[in-house]
Chains A and B, each alone.
Chain A
Amino acid sequence: MPMPDLPNPSLDALELLFAHPLWPRAGMVLRLLFHAGFAWLMFRFGRQIRREAKPPANGYWPNALTLIGGVFFGVLALRQADWQLMGQRNEKFLAFMQRYDRREFNPAHRFRAGRITDRKGRTLAGSRVTEGGIRRVYPYGPVFSHVIGYNHPIYGMTGLEAAGRTRLMRGSLRTRGDLAHLGAALLDREGHTEGPALTSTLDVDLQLTAHTLLEGRRGSVVLMDVRTGDLLALVSRPEFDPNRLHPRLFSGQTEGSPLLNRSLAGLYPPGSVFKVLVAAAALNGGFTGTLDTPADGFTTAPANPKIRDHDYYIARQAGREWRGHGRIGLAEALAKSSNVFFAQLGIRTGAGALTDAMDAAGMLSRFSISERPEATLSQGPARVTALSDARPYGIAQFSIGQGDLLVSPLHIAMITAAVARGGETVFPRIDSAQPVRTGGRLCSEEHAAALRWMLRRAVTEGTGRGAVMPEISVAGKTGTAQTGAGRESHSWFTGFAPSEDPRWAFAVIVEHGGYGSRAAVPVARQLLQTGVAEGWLVP
């Protein structure tokens, strides 16, 4: 149907009226008038209906139908009130609005996230009210970039910022304080109400020290309290500044993937530090004796390249002949980090026992470090090909921490912590309000005690001699993980201190740092020295 267009001139007079300085006030009055007038009309409407002749009383069923309809209208209004007026009670709804809603007038944005502090109450992340709204600020900048993460309107949330989000915003109504908070937020649509602070288990001094020690390197430091699983420092480098996020960071083209949280998401071959787990599994399986370690190395079949000790290669490089360690026990094998010994030990222990040990250490499934499973701060499983007794060479490689095995620094720290605290795994925690959570048992108390003594010997007499210091007795195991041809190996060191009554467990990795004793041990050593100087560790 063809139709002439309606005339469409612009309404200049109305625009002038709305531009008048007094108009906003008039608009407020009109808004009230709309609601009041509507209410008045509804009142009159109801009266008019009643005034029109009353229907005859013909049975109960029309009344029942009307009642059902009326109840349904009531349900709609109540449900709407639940969303529209009490929406902030629903944690997921609040999180959804804060993440996806662009309306700046949405009161959801006025719930200012609480501070995240370290264990001594120093602010690691806080909210600052600026002209453009609320901005998260990170006083320590890049130092806590991965573990605290960031909360940015464009780039989203990561780390503890994401995992602790709901608590920081007080999205729930569990206590009387929460109710008072809700009341204040409802009444004060302009003001900002700040959520409660979240006290993390981290410590600024230790984190700063660890961060500085890795300056210019790529790698990670994990430091945890073995009794509670408290993460005291969780450093990953290279890092970024959460106060200055820029698009190039997220383009995937930045050198060294600074966004990657290497402590949790880094996947590395563990090398010799993995022998701690193999030793624990072997002790648990009842191993006591000695094994022969021929200088020429060990293999399961002629087709497989021989697994040899490190000393063999050193001697060959120097043009010397090496006679091998001979027949040695577990303690000496750990101290000398004998690959030949551990390859045989792993095969003797068996695929089942080794898999059980990994499971007990929490390496086979994802677990959350912060309470909420939907949030991002969690540790994924280690990447490992299923072990089988039918493929002994695979077990042999696994037992020296090479082959199809990739773990995160946190995994290694957890193994060490389990040994240090008597064989039982403790899950790391970062939110001090969370309960301490223990996991499976890696080995018995006696075996753990024996292993602690052996690891102490590995420091005093073995590859970890660089960690010997007058202040405190350290026990630990170095690792040198080969990363393919032409590149320096990854440098590992894991251990605990004090060795007789362990309080701290740590894992340090320096990517392509060479020998474990060269790059990783000094980092751990200085970290422990800081701990002693700050009064954390009593020798």
Chain B
Amino acid sequence: MSAAKAKGAKRKPTGGGKGAGRSAKPRTQEAPKPVFFFLGIVGLVTVAQVLVLSARAGEGRPLMMMDIWPYLFWLVSSAAVAVALKAARWRGSGALLAGIFLLSGLGVVVRSRMSGMSPGVTDMHVLIQPAGFALLFGAWFCFRRGRVELLRPFWGLSLLLMLGLAAGMLVLGARYRGGLYAPGGLTPTEILKLFAVLGLAGFFSRPNADWEGRGVFRPPLGDTFFLLVIWGSLAGMLVLHRDFGLFLLLSATALVMLMCATCRLSWGVAALAAMAGGVWAVLRYFAHGARRFEAFLDPFSDPTGSGWQVLQGLTGMYAGGLMGMGLGAGRPERLPIASSDFVYAVYAEDAGFVGSVLLLILFARIFRSGVRITRRQEEDFARLLGAGLVASLAVQTLVNIGGVVNVLPITGIPLPYISQGGSSYWVTSLHFGLLLALSDRAR
């Protein structure tokens, strides 16, 4: 202890001198040139893409143009979005925009790393990302600078569409792997996330709504009844879909919005109790859910059966270790549904623990920036909308990664912007587009 002190004391003069020199320099307060940030992002994604290609060549697989089309599309569409934003006099949050660009770029590379692993990926899939960016830009353009208020009156329609879509899927959807899908492998239920957020935000911010300051013990009775009916029927339909994951996600989002609307944390406490009851009911009455829950509690009870997927994912991670095998150099071929639910395990094997933590930081920073944007909103509707959008994306991220690292049961919820899948990508793009629109208003 004393030795350390002495050392510190010895070093102090030089260290102090350096520190003084640094602090003497005037701290630059103006933002750095955004173009450098953008170039940094492009550079990082390019490095990642080159690593994937090199690993592919190292395996002796031929390199085709098809391997880099997604990357090129990302490059062009990002630049196009940046230029279009500039042209439309963008004044939103640069941090959020940068985060979105980087996340989508990493997603493109990770997905291209898995081409050949997931059969049925065609030219069409290359267009998912640019189409998502078009939606993102469109959402920003339509609702920028306060125009988001235009959406407020449509809360009733949103809730109706949410229920109608769930009911329609129940009638028309095709069963596959325990869920319901529309023709073409689309999952229209993804858009429920957006409808739920829009509907609830409008509902809570009606001019005659009286939610502020209302804790769980004195809720406005009429509104509460209405909500219970809506949510009860949604729960019934999604449980019939066997889509517990989506229901949990929507409920968690609704809960955050409720807490934001009332400024009362007591709702959260009540919701925890309700969730415990729900988990009990699922375990008691639904074999499918109970199996997943058991596999979560002890994956080793049936390592080659119900525990196989999560254990294979963890095995890949362990093989990757601290620094990873390098992007594209892992061997996740034996991991079931690696490209959607378990994409994080693939990334963690490739990029190692360090790369995974950096990705977690990226997600956390995107959400943090979203929270800041939300808190700067002045209108109730915009504030609730922002909270709902951030909550929806954050819960998806946490639940997906939580399932992979065995903190939560596996739910089948995709990782925003990283997992394969068109519907989810576009809905996430709309989320981000609306957040950008909110940020543009706040300045």
Contacts and interface: CB of A to CB of B under 8 A. Distances in A.
Given A31-B326, A76-B360, A83 B405 contact: yes
B234 interface: no
B41 A41 contact: yes
A80 B316 CA distance: 12
Nearest to A19: B57
Contact of B37 (A30, A44, A46, A65): A44
Given A15-B62, A76-B398, A84 B323 contact: no
Nearest to B56: A18
B402 interface: yes
Contact of B348 (A10, A44, A80, A97): A80
B259 A61 contact: yes
B58 A31 contact: no
Given A35-B354, A41-B40, A73-B364, A55 B322 contact: no
A53 B376 CA distance: 9
B41 A80 contact: no
A97 B318 contact: yes
Nearest to A48: B95
B50 interface: yes
Interface in B392-443: 394, 398, 401-402, 405-407, 442-443
Contact of A83 (B48, B93, B371, B406): B406
A304 interface: no
Contacts of A51: 29, 31, 95
Nearest to B67: A11
A100 B48 CA distance: 29
Interface string B291-316: 00000000010011000000110111
A15 B326 CA distance: 18
B353 A85 contact: yes
A22 interface: no
Contact of B263 (A3, A59, A73): A59
A76 B407 contact: yes
A38 interface: yes
B325 interface: yes
A39 interface: yes
B65 interface: yes
Nearest to B97: A48
Contact of A84 (B47, B353, B372, B374): B353
A414 interface: no
B161 interface: no
Contacts of B29: 51
Given A41-B102, A93-B311, A79 B62 contact: no
A165 to B, nearest CB: 14
Main secondary structure of the interface of A (DSSP, over half): helix
B405 A27 contact: no
B265 interface: yes
B244 interface: no
Nearest to A75: B407
Nearest to A83: B314
Interface in A20-77: 23, 27, 30-31, 33-35, 37-42, 44-46, 48-49, 51-56, 58-59, 61-62, 64-66, 69-70, 72-73, 75-77
Contacts of A45: 95, 98-99, 102, 362, 365
Interface in B7-52: 29, 31-32, 37, 40-41, 43-44, 47-48, 50-51
B357 interface: yes
B319 interface: yes
A65 B99 CA distance: 21
B260 interface: yes
A216 interface: no
Interface stretch (A101-109, A365-373, A378-386, A446-454): A101-109
Contacts, number: 232
Contacts of B263: 59, 61
A10 B321 contact: no
Given A61-B263, A61-B265, A23 B54 contact: yes
A132 interface: no
Given A41-B41, A66-B371, A108-B318, A10 B62 contact: yes
Contacts of B93: 52
B123 A37 contact: no
A452 B293 CA distance: 57
Contacts of B312: 100
B44 A38 contact: yes
Contact of B47 (A9, A30, A77, A101): A30
B4 interface: no
A282 to B, nearest CB: 46
A107 B263 CA distance: 50
B324 to A, nearest CB: 8
A411 to B, nearest CB: 31
A97 B265 contact: no
B46 to A, nearest CB: 10
A8 interface: yes
A246 interface: no
B138 interface: no
Contacts of B104: none
B124 interface: yes
A5 B66 CA distance: 10
A7 B64 CA distance: 10
A72 B374 CA distance: 20
A27 B398 contact: no
A87 interface: yes
A81 interface: yes
A259 B20 CA distance: 78
Contacts of A34: 44, 47-48, 51, 327, 351, 355
A6 interface: yes
**Which 10 pairs of residues, A with B, have the shortest CB-CB distance?**
A55-B375, A106-B319, A87-B318, A18-B57, A48-B95, A11-B63, A92-B300, A84-B317, A38-B358, A80-B405
Given A34-B327, A108-B315, 11 more contacts: A3-B127, A6-B123, A9-B64, A9-B65, A10-B65, A31-B323, A37-B40, A56-B375, A65-B260, A76-B405, A83-B318
Interface of B: 29, 31-32, 37, 40-41, 43-44, 47-48, 50-51, 53-54, 57-58, 62-69, 93-95, 98-99, 102, 123-124, 126-127, 256, 259-260, 263-265, 300, 303-304, 311-312, 314-327, 330-331, 334, 348, 351-358, 360-365, 367-369, 371-372, 374-376, 394, 398, 401-402, 405-407, 442-443
21 contacts: A3-B124, A11-B64, A30-B47, A31-B51, A37-B47, A41-B41, A46-B365, A48-B98, A58-B375, A62-B371, A69-B364, A69-B398, A77-B356, A83-B405, A84-B348, A84-B352, A84-B353, A97-B318, A100-B312, A103-B315, A107-B319
